[in-house]
């Protein structure tokens, strides 16, 4: 009965005026999968999610979400999906319980009181149920938002930067829960800027300037970029970085704590380029290319279609 | 198939209503405004604002067409306070005209007017006045009293010269209808009902949707399976109830504090008030689809409220305004509502007389809602 693909869209495009914010994106997400959506600010992640859940109408493209047509059946999709907005979007002047109660009423949840109690319990919010949502800290707000998105037992969860401004412990708890939910069969599409979070996803998509530039598992994404990365430690790294960036054969030189990551997709050229600096003063070693190296690489190569010519 | 869908829709609508009331209860300032504004205004406007309206429409019942009568009418019109709008046949027609608000005054000239004047007796004339708004009639009445002494001065030469300024030549009997004691509060307090409703209803609803947008909760609301009409109705209905609370509050104060008579049917008043509340809510909702933030919503509310207040006949007698202002004033629901309220409370108007003032409000509501619905759909995408 359950289709293997929770999201299956082709060529989704959204224009605002003459700016193409989402450009011909096709995406398949399997049921029960945690799909990470990465990309710089303003790359079209939020717009894409809004099109999936019927908040925005796509200008072109087609496909299904939970088996419903994304263009014509947005009402059905809304009923069976939970969308957690980037900014906290519940009522700050309602208490935690009142917010959950409101959402449960809107979705027509059966045995509402029980559902609300259970949801409070599960998220450890029972003690705070009478507290106004506006008085909660970032981490608690995020918990509340997630609880509200889950109260109608959606089959798909769309999370737009859910962990922005949340402390590491709360983030860890959050991801524990997401994995638990996915194990129970919920499909999750999540956008993030954090590399450690990206690595917790089953599969990834990288979007920049409205285009999907890379996709696959973490290993696949890294492999597909074909980057070679060297790490260098030593004195005056910032000055070295400036010099390396203008050296032909070096594509990126990025500071990573006390080291500098130097990378390129042309390994021999890179090896030649760094040769002059391979002195005893500096400790060079070839390292595994990280996801972050790949993303910086992808971003710098993507044509900026928003830039004015 | 359609029944469960409808009940789901009803359920979502109800969720919004419950939420709205909870938020209302929590927002102390707005809550205080809803209760405080009517009370504050009642106290402040206990004082009347006076003005000097002229060219008040006056009808005549002429039982005598003699030359002196024509001279008298000419003199009355020359005073500037009266403009004759026509002749009515009898007292019943005259009363009807006043009830409908078709004329401010009806002047009765008895058939023995010329004869008694020639015999040297003081003839009497009767002036029926719509004294609902004492400010509107006060100066005109004063002018008329003076006229009764001097108007026929020119004609009183020759055999009548001896009569000249000795005593009031004409005996003016004034019958101030609807508000015989010229109590200003009788006029102000019912009018205040409309003013308070306009102010609070427009402002609160214009904020209600703008607030959802400004706080980002609109995005959430739209991502849930709610339809625009459910959101709009879920916003409007709680405030209709608030409006009725205000109306009840003012009517109680009118009766108990200011002792304003309520001649007409109070249920008719309540029923017609719903049209007026709907008109103001539609303005508020439409503003909230246009305003980018809450500050703009408040500004727009005032932009609507001030001309409503000034041009409706609440602050100044409607007939005292220049014609262009009267035309503009006819647009605002408040203008018509004031006529309905005063008509029902003070004149005992029935549906028949109130209807001509009710339909313009309904037309206004429909037009404004059409604009709002069009704007609302655009902002969805």
Distance CA B304, CA B291 (A): 13
Pairs of residues, one from chain A and one from chain B, whose beta carbons lie less than 8 Å apart: 65
What band does B28 get if pLDDT is binned at 50, 70 and 90? confident
Substitution target in B23, B223, B229, B231 with the highest count of A β-carbons within 10 Å is: B223
- Which domains, ranges and CATH numbers included, belong to chain A? 5-221 (3.40.50.300), 228-288 (3.30.70.100)
Whether the predicted pLDDT of A201 surpasses 90: yes
Best of A15, A57, A108, A116 to substitute, by most chain B Cβ atoms within 10 angstroms, is A108
Q: What count of Cα atoms within 13 Å lies in the side-chain half-sphere of residue A89?
A: 23
Shortest Cα distance from A89 to chain B (angstroms)?
A: 4
What distance in Å separates residue A58's CA from the closest CA in chain B? Answer: 10
Asked whether the beta carbons of A252 and A297 are under 8 A apart, the reply is: yes
Mean pLDDT of A260-270: 90
Q: Element (H or E) spanning A83, and its range?
A: strand A81-84
Does the pLDDT at position B39 exceed 80? no
The fraction of chain B above a pLDDT of 90, given in percent, is: 11
pLDDT tens string B210-231: 888 888 888 888 888 887 778 8
Tell me if A226 sits within 8 A of A263, measured CB to CB.
no
Count of alpha carbons within 13 angstroms of residue B36, beta-carbon side: 6
- Determine the distance from the C-alpha atom of residue B191 to the mean position of all C-alpha atoms in its chain, rounded to a whole number: 6
Cα dihedral: A153, A155, A158, A163 (round 10): 50
Predicted confidence band of residue A7 (pLDDT cuts 50, 70, 90): very high
Query: Do B22 and A98 count as a contact with CB atoms less than 8 A apart?
Result: yes
Residues of A in contact with B16 (CB under 8 A): 106
pLDDT higher for B91 or A142?
Answer: A142
Least CA distance to A94: which residue of chain B? Answer: B23
Do A35 and A205 contact (CB within 8 A), yes or no?
yes
Would you give the DSSP letter of residue A152?
Answer: T
Q: What is the pLDDT of residues B276-333, one digit of tens each?
A: 998 999 899 888 888 888 888 888 888 888 888 888 888 777 887 778 888 888 999 9
d(CA B193, CA B176): 24
Looking at domain B56-177, what is its CATH homologous superfamily?
abc type-2 transporter like domain (3.40.1710.10)
pLDDT for res A8: 94
Residue of chain A with shortest Cα separation from B215: A89
Q: B35 Cβ partners below 8 Å, 6+ apart?
A: B245, B246, B249
Contact B246, B29 (CB under 8 A): no
| Residue % of chain A over a pLDDT of 70 | 96
Outline where chain A has alpha helix (H).
45-52, 74-80, 96-106, 112-122, 138-150, 168-183, 195-198, 218-225, 237-245, 267-274, 291-301
DSSP per position, A1-14: ---SEEEEEEEEEE
Q: How many helices (H) and strands (E) are present in chain B, helices listed first?
A: 14, 5
Cα→Cα distances A33→A5, A25, A178, A180, A214, Å? 9, 19, 10, 11, 18
pLDDT at B2: 55
CA atoms within 13 A on the CB side of B45: 25
How far is residue B81's CA from residue B378's CA, in Å, rounded to a whole number?
52
Q: What are the tens digits of pLDDT across the range A123-133?
A: 788 888 899 99
Alpha-carbon distance B263 to B343, whole Å?
9
Mean pLDDT, rounded, for B253-274: 87
Confidence grade of residue B47 (pLDDT, cut at 50, 70, 90): very low
- Listed by start position, the domains of chain B span 2-44+184-380, 56-177
Partner residue opposite B23 with nearest CB, options A75, A79, A93: A93
Reply yes or no on whether the pLDDT at B379 is more than 60: no
What SS3 state is found at B106?
A: strand
> Looking at residues A196-201, what average pLDDT do you find?
90
Q: What is the pLDDT of residue B97?
A: 85
pLDDT value, residue A83: 93
Q: How confident is the model at residue A303 (pLDDT cuts 50, 70, 90)?
A: low
Say yes or no to pLDDT of B37 above 80: no
Alpha-carbon gap: B208 to the closest alpha carbon of chain A (Å): 13
Tell me the pLDDT band of B77, cut-offs 50, 70 and 90. Answer: confident
Mean pLDDT of B30-40: 72
Percent of chain B with pLDDT over 70: 87
**Which strands make up the sheet holding A68-69, listed edge to edge?**
A19-30, A5-16, A60-65, A68-69
3-state SS, residue A62: strand
Output the DSSP codes for B25-67. HH-HHHHHHHHHHHHHHHHHTTSPPP----SEEEEEEES---H
Which residue from A57, A91, A107 is facing B225, i.e. has the nearest CB?
A107
DSSP secondary structure letter of residue B344: I
pLDDT of B122 over the 70 cut: yes
With a cut of 80, say whether residue A213 has pLDDT above it. yes
SS (H, E, C) B230-278: HHHHHHHHHHHHHHHHHHHHHHHHHHHCCCCCCCCCHHHHHHHHHHHHH
Report the pLDDT averaged over residues A66-92: 90
Query: Is the CB of residue B278 less than 8 Å from the CB of residue B228?
Result: no
Backbone φ and ψ of A32, nearest 5°: 80, 10
For the question of an ipTM over 0.95, the answer is no
Beta bridge partners of A13: A60
Judge: B19–A98 Cβ closer than 8 Å, yes or no: yes
Q: What pLDDT is attached to residue B306?
A: 83
Confidence of residue A103 (pLDDT cuts 50, 70, 90): very high
Separation in Å, CA of B300 to nearest CA in chain A: 25
């Amino acid at each position: 009965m359950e289709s293997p693909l929770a999201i299956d869209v082709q060529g989704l495009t959204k224009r605002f005026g003459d700016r193409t914010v989402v450009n011909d994106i096709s995406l398949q997400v399997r049921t029960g999968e945690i799909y990470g959506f990465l990309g710089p600010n303003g790359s079209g992640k939020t717009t894409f999610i809004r099109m999936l859940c019927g908040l925005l109408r796509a200008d072109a493209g087609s496909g299904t979400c939970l088996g419903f047509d994304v263009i014509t059946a947005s009402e059905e999709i809304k009923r069976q999906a939970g969308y957690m907005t980037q900014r906290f979007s519940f009522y700050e002047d309602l208490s935690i319980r009142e917010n959950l109660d409101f959402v449960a009423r809107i979705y027509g949840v059966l045995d509402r009181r029980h559902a609300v109690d259970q949801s409070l319990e599960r998220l450890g919010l029972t003690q705070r149920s009478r507290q106004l949502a506006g008085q909660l800290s970032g981490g608690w707000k995020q918990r509340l938002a997630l609880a509200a998105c889950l109260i109608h037992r959606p089959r798909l969860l769309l999370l737009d930067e859910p962990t922005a401004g949340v402390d590491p412990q709360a983030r860890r708890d959050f991801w524990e829960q997401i994995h638990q939910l996915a194990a129970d069969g919920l499909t999750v599409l999540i956008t993030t800027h954090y590399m450690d979070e990206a690595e917790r996803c089953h599969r990834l998509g990288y979007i920049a300037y409205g285009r999907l530039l890379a996709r696959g598992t973490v290993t696949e994404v890294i492999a597909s970029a074909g980057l070679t990365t060297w790490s260098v430690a030593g004195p005056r790294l910032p000055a070295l970085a400036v010099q390396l960036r203008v050296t032909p054969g070096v594509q990126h030189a990025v500071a990573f704590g006390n080291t500098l990551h130097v990378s390129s997709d042309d390994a021999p050229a890179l090896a030649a380029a760094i040769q002059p600096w391979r002195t005893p003063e500096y400790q060079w070693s070839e390292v595994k290319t990280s996801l972050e190296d790949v993303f910086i690489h992808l971003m710098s190569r993507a044509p900026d279609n928003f830039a004015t010519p | 198939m359609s029944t469960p869908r409808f009940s789901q829709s009803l359920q979502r609508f109800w969720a919004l209503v419950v939420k709205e009331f909870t938020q209302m209860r929590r927002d102390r300032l707005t809550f205080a405004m809803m209760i405080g504004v009517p009370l504050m205004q009642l106290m402040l406007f206990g004082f009347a604002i006076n003005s000097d309206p002229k060219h008040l429409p006056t009808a005549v019942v002429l039982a005598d067409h003699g030359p002196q009568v024509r001279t008298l009418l000419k003199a009355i019109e020359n005073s500037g306070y009266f403009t004759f709008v026509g002749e009515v046949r009898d007292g019943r027609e005259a009363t009807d005209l006043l009830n409908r608000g078709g004329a401010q005054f009806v002047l009765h000239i008895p058939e023995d007017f010329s004869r008694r004047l020639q015999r040297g007796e003081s003839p009497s004339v009767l002036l029926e006045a719509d004294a609902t708004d004492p400010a509107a009639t006060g100066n005109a009445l004063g002018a008329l009293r003076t006229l009764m002494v001097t108007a026929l001065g020119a004609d009183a030469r020759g055999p009548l010269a001896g009569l000249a300024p000795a005593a009031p030549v004409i005996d003016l009997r004034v019958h101030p209808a609807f508000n015989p004691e010229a109590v200003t509060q009788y006029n102000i307090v019912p009018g205040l009902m409309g003013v308070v409703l306009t102010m609070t209803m427009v402002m609160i609803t214009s904020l209600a949707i703008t607030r959802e947008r400004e706080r980002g909760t609109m995005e959430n609301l739209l991502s849930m399976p709610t339809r625009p009409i459910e959101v709009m109705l879920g916003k409007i209905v709680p405030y209709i109830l608030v409006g009725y609370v205000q109306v009840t509050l003012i009517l109680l104060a009118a009766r108990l504090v200011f002792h304003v008579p309520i001649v007409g049917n109070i249920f008719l008043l309540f029923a017609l008030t719903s049209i007026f509340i709907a008109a103001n809510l539609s303005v508020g909702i439409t503003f909230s689809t246009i305003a980018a933030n809450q500050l703009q919503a408040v500004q727009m509310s005032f932009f609507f409220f001030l001309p409503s207040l000034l041009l409706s006949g609440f602050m100044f007698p409607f007939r005292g305004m220049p014609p262009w202002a009267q035309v503009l004033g006819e647009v605002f629901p408040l203008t018509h509502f004031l006529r309905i309220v005063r008509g029902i409370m003070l004149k005992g108007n029935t549906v028949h007389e109130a209807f001509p003032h009710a339909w313009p409000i309904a037309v206004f509501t429909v037009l404004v809602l059409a604009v709002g619905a069009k704007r609302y759909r655009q902002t969805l995408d």
